[in-house]
Chains A and B, each alone.
Chain A
Amino acid sequence: MSRVFVFYRSSIGKKILMALTGLVLFGFVFTHMLGNLKAFLGAEEFNAYAEGLRSFGAPLIPHGYFLWAFRIGLIGALIVHVVTMVQLWAMAGGARPKGYKQAVHLEDGVSSRTMRLGGIVIVSFVAYHLMHMTIGNVHPNFIVGDAYNNLVVGFQSVPVAVVYSIAVIALGFHLHHGIWSMFQSLGMNHLKYNHLRRVFALAFTIAVVVGFLTIPVAIATGIIQ
């Protein structure tokens, strides 16, 4: 127990937990994006995919159990990600009681500077997104079991599509620094391959952002009906 305590107590231990949970959340986001693309294959395929998630592992695993286990895992990861973040933020908050009059940003870009803000935007959006697409209580015409309908109807509203797009772009910034940062926090470095970490982060960020944005765009332009 004391080993875990020593690990968790240190700022680096917390960073590593953030990186690991970030990896889990990134994995989810990436597969979610791939799943979304099934919308291009039509209602039947998409709904079958949605149902497939519920019945995943059946009959060994009872219907719906996998999805709940998956959700609990994700929520757990999100909680650890956020809690360690808040603890670290508190630590950093006190570390510079008085700021500089003239601040020049020496760091590499917007994405690293907006991690915390982006995190808040993403968590807020996720809450809304669950109410919108999973629970359906803020959806104009939510039909349980018809994910395709929920998706298409949901995004036909322009304000919803805009909010969604903003959130996806925020997610992009978060991932761009987050993925690279994850390699760094986990100590994954090798003189020969270090430059590839940034390339990898950028490539996956673009894939996720573009993948997610195609859906509202396709709905708005009528490619998906």
Chain B
Amino acid sequence: MKITLQVWRQANANDEGRFETYHQGGVNEEMSFLEMLDVLNESLINEGKEPVAFESDCREGICGACGMVISGSPHGPKKAITTCQLHMRSFSDGEEIWLEPWRAKAFPVVKDLVVDRSSLDRIVESGGFISVRTGSAPDANAIAVPKSNADRAFDAAACIGCGACVAACPNASAMLFTSAKVAHLGLLPQGQPERFSRAVSMVATMDQQGFGYCTNHGACQTACPKEISIDLIAMLNRDLAIGALSGA
């Protein structure tokens, strides 16, 4: 296979950035998308050029490190996978592929396709936890959790924090991410004491980070590699209203 890559190159946060074109031959359709970029990078290094910076770690779709907008779609054209799970057989010979970083004010570019997503961590730091001192927990079976609640909490907890929702959102909003964390903890009995104050403080932090707001488009859930539903956003809206108006 031969493909043409239009890759966003940007030396650092202050650089303007531009697209560069690479013609990549010898692409095997069994390769993963990132392995194709590995091959590109090795040839760039051999030519004495700087390789394309992109992020990845586990390369099996769970760590959330990888992610780029591939011809307009975060994590590429296939549903419910991360960039590292995408394989070249999803592309055709001769195809032109555009690679861009997640674009959002809250995700400044570090280099090329690598962005700084620490704004997501700051949202969690402001309340995305259950306060329980190590060693002070009651027996794990002391609090029964209905299976349906445990399952729904798990669906929300499946978020890998990759940021594709922000990248896909026309407003660069982090509502799906925030709602997933709030719902995960808010659906469990252990999470009730802090449920409403958690929603209020996490949303306040989210707003401060420079994300946009939610217009209920649903682009986030389409892009989400873990198929997290925007139903959780409705839950967050409710919890925030209760929390803010009750002074939680």
Contact = CB atoms under 8 A, between A and B. Distances in A.
**In the complex they form, do A and B come into direct contact, defined as C-beta atoms under 8 angstroms apart?**
yes
Contacts of B236: 12, 187
Interface of A: 2-4, 6-7, 9-16, 88, 91-92, 94-108, 112-113, 115, 177, 180-181, 183-189, 191, 194
B98 to A, nearest CB: 4
Contacts, number: 143
B212 A96 contact: yes
Given A92-B171, A92-B173, A102-B100, 12 more contacts: A3-B245, A6-B247, A15-B237, A92-B172, A95-B104, A95-B105, A95-B171, A101-B6, A102-B98, A186-B234, A186-B238, A191-B231
Contacts of A91: 207, 212-213
A185 B8 CA distance: 36
- Contact-residue size bin, chain B (C-beta under 8 Å from the other chain): 35 or more
A104 B105 contact: no
B241 interface: yes
B105 A96 contact: yes
A184 B82 CA distance: 27
B71 A102 contact: yes
A7 B172 contact: no
B32 interface: no
B56 interface: no
A11 B214 contact: yes
Contacts of B222: 106-107
Contact of B103 (A98, A186, A189): A98
B105 A97 contact: yes
B134 to A, nearest CB: 32
Contacts of B22: none
Contacts of A113: 170, 217
20 contacts: A10-B240, A11-B203, A12-B203, A12-B214, A12-B240, A12-B241, A16-B241, A95-B172, A96-B171, A100-B72, A101-B98, A102-B69, A112-B215, A112-B218, A113-B170, A177-B216, A183-B234, A184-B234, A187-B238, A189-B231
Contact of B213 (A9, A88, A102): A88
Contacts of B216: 112, 177, 180-181, 184-185
A37 B244 CA distance: 42
A97 to B, nearest CB: 6
A98 B19 CA distance: 14
Nearest to A189: B234
A104 B73 contact: yes
Closest 3 CB pairs of A and B: A187-B238, A104-B72, A95-B212
